[in-house]
Amino acid sequence: MAKAGRKTSAPDDGWPARAKRWLVTGLKIGGLAFVGGLLALVVAVVIAMQSLPNYEALKSSPNGQMIRVHAADGSVIVALGPSFGRWMAFDQIPSVMVDAMVSTEDKRFYLHPGVDPIGLTRASYLALVNRGTGRRMQGASTITQQVTRNIFLNNSYTFGRKIREMILALALERKFSKQQILELYLNKVYFGGGAYGIDAASRKFFGHAANTLNLPEAAIIAGLVKAPSSYSPTADADAAVGRAGVVLELMRENGAITGDELATANVKAVKLAPEPPQNSVRYFTDWVLPQLETLVDEPLEPLEVYTTIDLPMQRAATAAIKQNAPGSTQGALVSLDRDGAVRAMVGGLDYVTSNYNRATQATRQPGSAFKLFVYMAALEAGYTPETAVVDEPVDINGWQPRNSSRRYSGKIDIRTAFAYSINTIAAKLGVEVGFATVADMARRFGISTPISTHPSMVLGTSDVRLIDMTRAFASVARKGVAVSPYGITKVTTADGRLLYEHKDDTSRVLVAPWVAAGITDLLQTAVNTGTGKAAQIGRPVAGKTGTTSSNKDGWFLGFSSGITTGVWMGRDDARAVGGMQGGRAPAAAFAQYMKAAVAKRPVEEFETEVTLPEYELEPDDETYFNQPDNGQFVDENGMPIERSQSDDSADPSDTGTTPYEVPARIDQRWIDNVLGREKKPAKDKGQN
């Protein structure tokens, strides 16, 4: 008899029943998890959709501003920032480019919702097979995912980033059309060499806009996305051609092209655009591009910058400096058209080894090239080229400039004194018109560096810039009208919208035309019969040499046929240079360059005829008593050095001095009294 209250076990249904219950339970849990996950995904996608900016904001998300600099002939000389390209609307993009990209990067693009389940499954399988080998999961990213990664994320390879990428891709597909996503992709994807977007890539590699891409070119560009550095046409043309062949085959498999089109697509015949020059022209672009900040206010859109630089003239300028600069020296050249347009600029022998621009940044002593301002001040005060002066010993408060000939020529005229760069006459003129007046004339003509009013300033002891001196000579060539060097003619956006255009200003008159004519007369004489003979080019030239004490700096500045050119040569460490005497090397470089620069221009006669000087006196060698350094008797701090009696006796030609005392106030009445003349009427001043 069984005991009361004893429990009995339920009969065992066996393993199949238990398995069935586990399966049902698992399916319920899995179903709930799937639904929960799906709901979570939907919520995440909805939230992501709400956080996405509008389409215009996505378009303007910058990769950096793109700037292309054009020479005067329209050719591109420098491309800065990400490679230049304009935004291409979807209907402007050639269908072969769209088909090439879809066939290569995402052949099921038009079928999936932003994430490709088939591609993701295949990529997961390959990842499982290759686990432990270090190879990443490949082939899972759709075009939409690449767009989200390019705009919102980064290229870090983490599981979390991949999940965010997928969510954003699904949101992007819900908010924008397939065409809009393709437009974003084709304008944002990186193709190598700094090129973002198909227009940038087309311009960089083929030299034309993307709206004219043909099938072989489209295949080359589409093939770059996988590995831009490996398949770049400029880096490895053979690799680019081989990869393009793969793209064309994929297009045929995807039905984008026929077999006949594949057979006729000659990728090897595609012509690549040449790389822009990167040497001496960079001195010019380094000078001109910072000016954009003051000319235009457009920080985002790609810019087309059209400049004044003339590439044949630039090449001639570079060759002239390299072939004429004495050994171990540097050289610089600036060449201006009659309105101030910079046609050539050389800042040194080689930009790659030294990008320091000696044409616009270096300040050096101009030597007797500075006498341009001394003689213009004298002409404005009433002198003419025929005015008689006396070459004799001079003493100005203890400063005693001497001529390199160690002799004095007595009575001569202004033309002769200028042609042979007589130092004593320049000093006397400085006293008579006033050193402050000379300094004012220099500043009036564009010298922007500090100018000393110590008497020795008339011999060019104040540091100046080559571009400023060239500007001054160009203003003389323009008959006294101010010239401002400029390098940018206009700036436009990629679609041609004009942002800036240069306008010539002829309103600023620096000196009266008769003063400009008189100094041109003197400058022309200096080239034809004086110190600048080496600058002759077979047509009228007006110019002036300049050398400093110990031949540390050599200059020649002059103009002919509407072109004004300044040349400087010397060492960066300001040591003396052999072969610089008389400015022969700079004058030779000037002549070599100018022969090429004006070859296609008509010969222009000056308004004044050349009158030969009385006789040849001395070369343009800034030599002083006992050849003091820096062109004057000064110490290392620029203070005058007292001369001893032994110094006076060292020169057998020293027969006495004519002392000059600088008055406290120099004005026109004082000048008239010193010269013993009444002020001439304006009509007499213009007579030569």
Mean pLDDT by 10 residues, the chain (688 residues): 50 66 74 69 70 77 75 88 77 93 88 81 68 54 83 67 80 87 88 82 88 92 81 77 91 91 89 73 92 86 93 96 92 97 96 91 94 97 94 92 81 91 94 96 96 93 97 97 97 91 94 94 88 89 88 94 97 84 86 97 83 53 36 36 38 33 40 44 41
Q: What is the pLDDT at residue 81?
A: 67
- Give, for 69, the enclosing helix (H) or strand (E): strand 67-70
Residue 688 confidence (pLDDT):
36
Q: Contact at 8 Å (CB) between 518 and 541?
A: no
Instruction: Give the pLDDT confidence score for residue 675 in this predicted structure.
Output: 39
pLDDT value of position 548: 82
Extract the tokens encoding 59.
Answer: 């378009």
Residue 209 near residue 198 (C-beta atoms within 8 A): no
- The pLDDT score that the predictor gives to residue 626 is 33
SS3 32: helix
pLDDT at position 324, please? 94
The alpha carbon dihedral of 305, 311, 316, 320 has a sign of positive
Relative to beta strand 67-70, strand 303-307 is parallel
Buried b (16+ CB within 10 A) or exposed e, 437-459: bbbebbebbbbeeebeebbbbbb
Instruction: In whole angstroms, give the CA distance from residue 436 to residue 432.
Output: 11
Element (H, E) at 614: none
Q: Cβ–Cβ contacts within 10 Å for residue 424, how many? A: 21
The sheet with strand 330-336 has its strands ordered as 342-346, 330-336, 563-570, 553-560, 542-547
| Separation of alpha carbons 109 and 142, rounded Å | 7
CB 525 within 8 A of CB 343: no
Token pair for 223: 């093939």
For the full predicted model, state whether its pTM sits above 0.95: no
The per-residue pLDDT for 349 is: 93
- Environment class of residue 652 by beta-carbon count within 10 Å: exposed (0-12), middle (13-18) or buried (19+)? exposed
* C-alpha distances in Å from residue 492, one per residue of 212, 302, 304, 497: 21, 9, 5, 5
Tokens of 685: 């001043």
Taking the C-alpha atoms of residue 535 and residue 385, their distance in angstroms, rounded to an integer, is: 21
> What is the SS3 string spanning 332-399?
EEEEECCCCEEEEEECCCCCCCCCCCCCCCCCECCHHHHHHHHHHHHHHCCCCCCCEEEECCEEECCE
What pLDDT sits at residue 369? Answer: 95
Is residue 161 within 8 Å of residue 154, measured between CB atoms?
yes
For residue 276, give the nearest of 83, 411, 417 by alpha carbon: 83
Q: Classify residue 326 as exposed, middle or buried by CB count within 10 Å of its CB (0-12, 13-18, 19+).
A: middle
Give CA separation, 350 vs 73, 308, 458, in Å: 24, 21, 33
Ramachandran region of residue 74, left (φ > 0), alpha (ψ -120 to 50) or beta? Answer: left
**pLDDT of the residue at 521:** 93
The Cα-based distances of 606 to 235, 403, 415, 518, 519 in angstroms read 53, 30, 16, 11, 11
Q: Of 431, 393, 389, nearest to 624 (Cα)?
A: 393
Start-end of H helices in 176-276: 178-188, 198-206, 215-222, 228-231, 237-253, 259-264
What phi-psi label fits residue 237: left (phi over 0), alpha (psi between -120 and 50 degrees) or beta?
Answer: alpha
Q: Residue 238: its pLDDT value, please?
A: 82
Nearest to 630 by CA among 687, 533, 562, 551: 551
Assigned token pair, 300: 């985002």
Neighbours of 54 (CB within 10 A): 9
**What does the pLDDT read at residue 155?**
59
Rounded to whole angstroms, how far apart are CA atoms 412 and 389?
5
The residue behind tokens 């400096």 is: 321
Count other Cβ atoms within 10 Å, centred on residue 252.
18
* Residue 98 to residue 660: CA distance in whole angstroms: 85
* 501 sits in which H/E element: strand 498-501
Q: How many residues does the chain have?
A: 688
The helix, strand and coil proportions of the chain, stated in percent and rounded to the nearest 5, come to 45, 10, 45
- Please count the other Cβ atoms lying within 10 Å of the Cβ belonging to residue 53: 13
CA dihedral sign of residues 529, 534, 540, 543: negative
- Model pLDDT, residue 638: 35
Residue 8 CA to residue 10 CA, distance in Å, equals 7
CA 477/CA 499 separation, integer angstroms:
31
Residue 547, classed as helix, strand or coil, is strand
Check if the beta carbon of residue 313 is closer than 8 Å to that of residue 596: yes
CA dist list (Å): 504 to 71, 244, 492: 19, 50, 19
Angstrom distance (rounded) from CA 455 to CA 433: 12
Sheet holding 67-70, edge to edge: 76-80, 67-70, 303-307, 488-493, 498-501
